[in-house]
Amino acid sequence: MNYLKSYIMKCFQIAWFIKIHSCQKAVWLLVLFALTTFTFQTNAQWGRRPVVSPDILNDNSVIFRLYAPDASSVKLSGNWMQGWGASMELERNDTGLFQITIDPLAPEIYTYSFIIDGVRVLDPGNFNIVRDGVRNESVFTIRGEGSDLYAVFKVPHGTVSKVWYPSPTLGMDRRMFVYTPPDYYTSDVSYPVLYLFHGAGGDEDAWTTLGRTNYILDNLIAAGEAVPMIVIMTNGVPTMAAAPDDQPVDLEIDRINAGGPGGMISGKFEKSLVKDVIPFVEKNFRVIADADHRAISGLSMGGFHTQMITNANPGMFNYIGVMSMGLFNDTRLGNYNKDEHVAQIKALKDSGVKLYWIACGKDDFLYESVVNLRKFYDDLDLEYVYRESTGGHTWPNWRIYLAEFVPMLFK
Amino acid sequence: MNYLKSYIMKCFQIAWFIKIHSCQKAVWLLVLFALTTFTFQTNAQWGRRPVVSPDILNDNSVIFRLYAPDASSVKLSGNWMQGWGASMELERNDTGLFQITIDPLAPEIYTYSFIIDGVRVLDPGNFNIVRDGVRNESVFTIRGEGSDLYAVFKVPHGTVSKVWYPSPTLGMDRRMFVYTPPDYYTSDVSYPVLYLFHGAGGDEDAWTTLGRTNYILDNLIAAGEAVPMIVIMTNGVPTMAAAPDDQPVDLEIDRINAGGPGGMISGKFEKSLVKDVIPFVEKNFRVIADADHRAISGLSMGGFHTQMITNANPGMFNYIGVMSMGLFNDTRLGNYNKDEHVAQIKALKDSGVKLYWIACGKDDFLYESVVNLRKFYDDLDLEYVYRESTGGHTWPNWRIYLAEFVPMLFK
């Protein structure tokens, strides 16, 4: 992220190397060239000068810079800005360097992009990128109390594994991300399991990249605030096997021809979770296979999946977390049956659920649906814990929700 | 990648959903909004029209498109173009859509970028990005015989795990990527191990993202061409613990202040591989722990590491592969001792190495150093297999080398 520093460091390294080793031969310069050239070539190739962007100052204000002498306009669009599509104009100096300094930001992970002459692009000066499904954004972190839970500290780290499993229900092998806690491979202990679902537009990668789930768990476990657990992060789109780069080539055609609501609201993912995923996990990992040691949660579409699965399977999960998703009562889905829904919630109530947790932001565009869900549960006397946050339908909220939900599990 | 198709599919899905479920209530439209909005919002937010880029035609020619009505110039720079910094101008039509069609490409994975009014950026229409250290590039694949080895097929898939391990030698916990073959978690078999190193500018992520190592292994194992094996992909920069997003915050300062050749040519990574990595792997994974079942290979800086480690540890690895890196004879490193080097190679020769493999491209800027290495080995009668390819110091070559090296191992 910090190009100037790394550039100076490189020069220093080479100078030092030449000094201490008294290099005399051209072939050693060639070696040095081989070992250090790529970064330099990269800088040159990408039209970069030693321009630092973003440059986080001590007071947590941030300077964004872009060297673009031939561009007429450069704007900055960041997820901390208010209003849909908000952006700010960078100012050009006489060398063609565009720059803007923004007011101090609270500790958090932020995403942003530049708009160069009307085209929205990633910041070429920042190699840190996060992908959320088909969307990429430049990313940076303001360190502090609000973001340290997502940072990598000197604590024991769990393992994140990309595991393929058979899904007879969906007729394909599929990929999941599995977090196993720090002591998993050195102990004989069996662990509880949290099943954790992404939202529409995401995939099995989202909860570890944007969600920082593994580091949230590492930090909470190290602090003694969470029980060591396994986290299973599936792909919630039943017509997909895996994230784009890992999608089998034979499935691409089916995906395009699949048509119909296919994926999201077909009920197929929910079936595969119960019939394929849970049996696979409980066979292949050291888990405690009962309701007291199964938790389930998801955001947005994943909150929908969470409800569908727990409604249909009372007694399977004793810890349930629904993030940024309400709905269901007072709707007319073709196959929606309110009596059945009521019966499901009553069965859930009787099944011994230890925690039913609902979280939503005040500005979430699904806020009303959550109000309706709570009313529905209130009418049926289903006990739940409600957590209302500021903000909307965003990853900062989902990371916070996860960090609050996990310490309540399996205790 | 194919926005037009996915856009049409989305519209079709919504229309169908509304039709089959006879939705009447606003709340259901809200749900639909929730479940499909992100992709659309993303498109809108990113200034995208349903513009497909890159658009791979049946004859493997490729159209690149960018909607940029306010830009004066858009260029394309691709890794298939000849000459350093080569680029081609896109043509603007009267709506502000820039477009270029390039001649058919051979099957391979290609990387490229756009240059919008002089600023090098990723293609905003293509969400597929690969990172090589601090460099990101847009990426696409031309399917066919030359690239199918890197594709995801309906074959059993191994697991890729991101594993943290203690490195007392380097004074930190570090991260490695571990490929375990498809049957690892369901069998009791012990496997041979390939230690595989990245080049300068890369990290432990490179061999699975740019290198597609896991899919190369999956495909070769499924075809019966490679023995099932574990592949250990470490981070070769001893002052780093992990790739940028996973680098511990406490190490950032050390990294910048570290100075000196620190990382690359300090000999420290090599020590940690032998003292920390191999013991950890042999303790925590089911491996066959002898020289006949240890292979080692690396590209560029990783080829340097491979030589340093095998020179200093005869009898530890019986399969050695050096990619795109020569050198050593006729040099004057402060602590270089030619007599010692000669003695090392003689000891290696006597140690029972079954395969010493050297690969380099004709246009590699390190080609001469490989000529010198071969001459050095010829003079000492060290038997090796030499593979000379076309092309230079590039990932297409390293993927091919890996796919050729792996089938020769452990047989």
The count of other CB atoms within 10 Å of the CB of residue B212 is 25
Q: What is the complex's ipTM, to 2 decimals?
A: 0.87
Residue B259 scores a pLDDT above 80: no
Q: Out of A88-92, B190-194, B260-264, which region has the weakest mean confidence (pLDDT)?
A: B260-264
Residue-level pLDDT at A264: 62
**Closest-CA distance of chain A to residue B157, Å:** 6
Contacts of B133 in chain A (CB under 8 A): 38-39, 42, 127
Contacts of A66 in chain B (CB under 8 A): 119
- Chain B interface includes A267 (CB < 8 A): no
What is the mean pLDDT of the segment spanning B353-381?
Answer: 95
Name the CATH topology of B55-146.
Immunoglobulin-like (2.60.40)
Flag if B256 and A2 touch (Cβ within 8 Å).
yes
Cβ atoms B176, B234 nearer than 8 A: yes
Residue-level pLDDT at A15: 39
Segment B205-231, tens digit of pLDDT: 999 999 999 999 999 999 999 999 999
Chain B CA closest to residue A28: B331
Flag if B17 and A66 touch (Cβ within 8 Å).
no
Residue B327 scores a pLDDT above 90: no
Q: What is the pLDDT along chain A (411 residues), one digit of tens a residue?
A: 344 344 434 433 443 344 333 333 344 444 444 444 434 434 444 444 468 999 999 999 999 999 999 999 999 999 999 887 899 999 999 999 999 999 999 999 999 999 999 999 999 999 999 988 888 999 999 999 989 999 999 999 999 999 999 999 999 999 999 999 999 988 999 999 999 999 988 999 999 999 999 999 999 999 999 999 999 999 999 988 999 889 888 876 444 434 334 456 678 999 999 999 999 999 999 999 999 999 999 999 999 999 999 999 999 999 999 999 987 554 444 567 889 999 999 999 999 999 999 999 999 999 999 999 999 999 999 999 999 999 999 999 999 999 999 999 999
Flag if B31 and A327 touch (Cβ within 8 Å).
yes
**Closest-CA distance of chain B to residue A212, Å:** 10
Residue B17 scores a pLDDT above 50: no
Residue B8: band (very low, low, confident or very high) from pLDDT cuts 50, 70, 90: very low
Residue-level pLDDT at A356: 98
Residue-level pLDDT at B300: 93
Contacts of A199 in chain B (CB under 8 A): 38
Chain A CA closest to residue B187: A284
**Average pLDDT of chain B, as a whole number:** 86
**Closest-CA distance of chain B to residue A230, Å:** 14
**CATH code of the domain made up of A153-408:** 3.40.50.1820
Chain A CA closest to residue B123: A121
- Tokens representing A140? 């940076």
Residue-level pLDDT at A20: 36
**Degrees, nearest 5: CA angle B233-B239-B245:** 65
What is the mean pLDDT of the segment spanning B51-80?
Answer: 96
Cβ atoms A348, A311 nearer than 8 A: yes
d(CA A3, CA A128): 12
Residue B334: band (very low, low, confident or very high) from pLDDT cuts 50, 70, 90: low
What is the mean pLDDT of the segment spanning B13-30?
Answer: 40
Residues 6+ apart with CB under 8 A from B187: none
Q: Which of A13, A284, A369 sits opposite B260 (nearest CB)?
A: A13
- Tokens representing B348? 């290696």
- Chain B interface includes A30 (CB < 8 A): yes
Tell me if A55-146 shares its fold with A153-408.
no
Which residues 68-87 of chain B have a CB within 8 Å of chain A?
68-73, 77, 85
Q: Which of B45, B121, B162 sits opposite A122 (nearest CB)?
A: B121
- Chain B interface includes A116 (CB < 8 A): yes
Residue-level pLDDT at B318: 98
Residue-level pLDDT at A12: 38
Where do the domains of chain A lie? 3-45, 55-146, 153-408
Q: Which of A30, A119, A366 sits opposite B34 (nearest CB)?
A: A366
d(CA B114, CA A163): 35
Residue-level pLDDT at B250: 81
- Chain B interface includes A40 (CB < 8 A): no
Buried b (16+ CB within 10 A) or exposed e, B151-181: bbbebbbbbbbbbbbebebbebbbbbbbbbb
Segment B131-175, tens digit of pLDDT: 888 889 999 999 999 899 999 999 999 999 999 999 999 999 999
Name the CATH topology of B153-251+258-408.
Rossmann fold (3.40.50)
Chain A CA closest to residue B259: A13
Residue-level pLDDT at A393: 94
Q: Which of A77, A118, A261 sits opposite B17 (nearest CB)?
A: A261
Residue B22 scores a pLDDT above 50: no
What is the mean pLDDT of the segment spanning B295-300?
Answer: 97
Cβ atoms B209, A114 nearer than 8 A: no
For the whole model, what pTM was predicted? Answer: 0.88
**Closest-CA distance of chain B to residue A184, Å:** 11
d(CA A215, CA A287): 21
Contacts of A67 in chain B (CB under 8 A): 119
% of chain B with per-residue pLDDT over 70: 82
- Chain A interface includes B27 (CB < 8 A): yes
**Closest-CA distance of chain A to residue B280, Å:** 11
* Chain A with chain B: Cβ pairs closer than 8 A: 325
- Chain B interface includes A95 (CB < 8 A): no
Q: Which of B30, B39, B127 sits opposite A131 (nearest CB)?
A: B127
Residue-level pLDDT at A261: 42
Residue-level pLDDT at B2: 40
